[in-house]
Structure 1
Amino acid sequence: MIIAIDIGGTKISAALMNDNKIIESRKTDSIIHHDLNNLANYVIQLCQGWIDKAHLVAVACTGQVGTNHVHFLSAKQTLPLKQQLKTGFNLPVVMLNDAAAAAWAEYCLGPKRQDNTLVYITVSTGIGGGIIQNGQLITANDGFCAHIGHMSVSRPSLPHIQCHCGRINCVEAISSGTSIAKQASQMLNYQVNCKTVFEQHLSHPEIATLLEQSTDALVDLIANIKALTGTAVVVLGGSVGSASPFRERVIEKITKLPKIYQVNLVSPITGEHADLIGAALFAQTIHGFT
């Protein structure tokens, strides 16, 4: 059996899996932004009762997941998390970025594609991605790879937006749920979250313009990704990416791109456990376990 773990900025999920099926799952609040140094112990505690049953731990984690360390971009702190978990569990550990894990799940379980290429974008609290090129998940030793939310786009007639990574006009700083909620709250003069924006405020002229600008930025990103990878398919997931007001505009705007930049935008098939499933599948390819 495999213990699969999904470490996010808001929630941490874990599952005991057998034959790529979830036997039991658990979920708890994340501690990344207030007690990061205790993250490994916190995760191990979440998995108590499973450790003696498992032979492998597969981890999908937010941030810059390198060979030896994870740099948590929003927390601006680095941990040797893989080694900490390996020591605590006393089991082999395979770790990859959470969006990369979801991309791998979509590639492995979705329709077979002749070009063996697929790009996954998640638009949620932040914007992440995963790229499969010629059947291989694209990774880098330092973990800064396929962080497509930190690609910048042009906003010639609009104010620049500073991203927490240090650049301006990153798509994450424009189109993520966090950014949409922040900008909408400023426009409305009271605090709202992204879900409330979509459900209650789209008739507000400034909010409607905000939605157009955020989807414009994402479509520019998709065009750039098409030019970079040649992918014919982009999977768009995440709580924002799956929301009808956002998704429908993205689909419409893709059809207006020059034909060479157009892609087939599809919904995820792996659902809320995509990161867990993808991490488990990827760990098996690394270790040859089933």
Structure 2
Amino acid sequence: MYTIGIDIGGTKIKFGMFDGNSQLVKEDQIKTPKEAIVENMIVALEELIQDEKIQGIGVASAGIVDFHNGVIKSCPNLHALANVPIKAMLEDAFQVSVVVGNDANCAALAEGTAGAARAVSSYICITLGTGIGGGIVHNNELVHGNSGYGGEVGHMTLVPNGIVCGCGRKGCWEAYASGKALERMISDDPELASNNYQPKDVFENYNNDVSCERVVDHYLEYLSIGLINLQYVFDPEMIVIGGGVIDSSKYWWNQLEEKMAATASIPVALQQAQLKNNASMIGASSLVKQG
């Protein structure tokens, strides 16, 4: 009996079939359509599944996901998915249970199944990309929250009446410690902006350029404050950090650990995420077993 994991991205949708040991046995992907997204997913799934028997389907998507009802309430990059009854449509098409979750939550599950958090039962996984995603796992169970929105840590307030976040609120952690926030910091620095620096350039020149050092230190300060807040609230065994920003971690990881060690009065165990592009798909498959 197999489970299906689906990762809905802004440019492509990835499909994976997993066996009872959570091993990927078959995969496929399609370009994300602008309309009729679920209908196109059904066609691709029929080709992937064929005559195999499946236990259930897990779907991972960015945005605000109503886990209990299987509906994506809002998704900035995929407006065509907003309030579409994905769970009901897939269950009707395949006659199996379907679970829909936030992609960061699914990535967190994956890190516990096959990644950096395999050895612990309670941890938080943070994804640093355009925004900040989060997944909270306690006693091997994903924390969904009362309304299914648990883990939206990027939208905790870091600076009262601060910079307007993409969500419309002011001062969110995401507005100060995401990849997009770093891009803003670079554009606000005359020297870096005039040289068309990108985040990758700033990280690579962290140790040999005063302007780069100043911006990265500023960024890491905000990142560390948010991480320490999470440590005090949840006291997890581990905080796992992944997402696109982590690709440059060799330039700044030690500095982040030093900042946290100097500020936090309780130990913070940081680990880098081990799973890359397949994390959300793997986690979506695991979501089926958690139901």
Could you tell me the TM-score, scaled by structure 1's length? 0.83
Query: Quick check: 4-13 or 75-84, which moved more?
Result: 75-84
Where in structure 2 are the equivalents of 1:116-135 lying within 5 Å? 116-135=121-140
Structure 2: unaligned runs, 5 residues or longer: none
Q: CA distance change for structure 1 residues 207 and 16 in 2, over 3 Å: closer, same or farther? A: same
Shift of 1:217: 1.2
Name 2:63's counterpart in structure 1. 63
Q: Is the 8 A contact 1:121 1:128 kept in 2?
A: yes
Structure 2 counterpart of 1:21, from 20, 23, 36: 23
- Structure 2 residue 281 is matched with structure 1 residue 283: no
- The alpha-carbon distance between structure 1 residues 73 and 228, as it changes in their structure 2 partners (threshold 3 A), is farther
CA distance change for structure 1 residues 283 and 191 in 2, over 3 Å: closer, same or farther? farther
Out of 219, 225, 230, which is 1:225 matched to? Answer: 230
1:40 counterpart letter in structure 2? V
- Work out the CA distance in 2 between the residues paired with 1:191 and 1:30: 31
**Partner SS, residue 47 of structure 2:** coil
Amino acid at match of 2:119: K
Q: Deviations over 1:224-255 (max 9, x none)?
A: 11111111310111120342234333222111
1:252 aligns with 2:250: no
Partner of 1:39: 37
Output the CA distance in 2 between the equivalents of 1:246 and 1:74.
30
Q: Which amino acid aligns with 1:14?
A: F
Alignment of 1:94-173 (within 5 A): 94-109=99-114, 110-113=117-120, 116-140=121-145, 142-154=147-159, 160-173=162-175
Q: How many Å apart are 1:220 and its aligned residue?
A: 0.8
1:236 aligns with 2:241: yes
Aligned residues: 276
- Aligned mates of 1:186, 1:46 — CA distance in 2: 44
Q: In structure 1, what is the Cα distance between the partners aligned to 2:283 and 2:18?
A: 12
Q: Is the 8 A contact 1:51 1:89 kept in 2?
A: no
Cα-to-partner distance string for 1:174-212 (whole Å, 9 max, x where unaligned): 221222224424541476653344346875544432222
The match for 2:180 is: 178
Q: Which runs of 5+ in 1 are unaligned?
A: none
Provide the rounded CA distance (Å) in 1 between the counterparts of 2:200 and 2:53.
38
1:41–1:88: 8 Å Cα contact kept in structure 2? no
| Residue identity opposite 1:43 in structure 2 | M
Contact 1:3 1:50 survives alignment (8 Å) = no
CA contact (8 A) 2:203 2:216 kept: no
* 1:180/1:258 CA distance change after superposition, 3 Å: closer
TM (norm. structure 2) is: 0.83
Whether contact under 8 Å (2:6, 2:14) holds in the other structure is yes
**1:138: Cα distance to partner?**
0.4
Name the SS of the counterpart of 1:279 in structure 2: helix
Give the letter aligned to residue 140 of structure 2: G
Distance of aligned partners of 1:174 and 1:29 in 2 relative to their CA distance in 1, 3 Å threshold: farther
How far the C-alpha of 1:89 sits from its partner, in A, is 4.1
C-alpha change, 1:50 and 1:251, in structure 2 (3 Å) is: same
**TM-superposed deviation, 1:28:** 4.3
The residue aligned with 1:50 is 48
Say which SS state the counterpart of residue 262 (structure 2) adopts: coil
Distance change >3 Å, CA 45–CA 181, structure 1 → 2? farther
| Structure 2 SS opposite 1:272 | coil
- Could you say which residue in structure 1 is the equivalent of 2:203? 198
- Percentage of matched positions with identical amino acids: 28
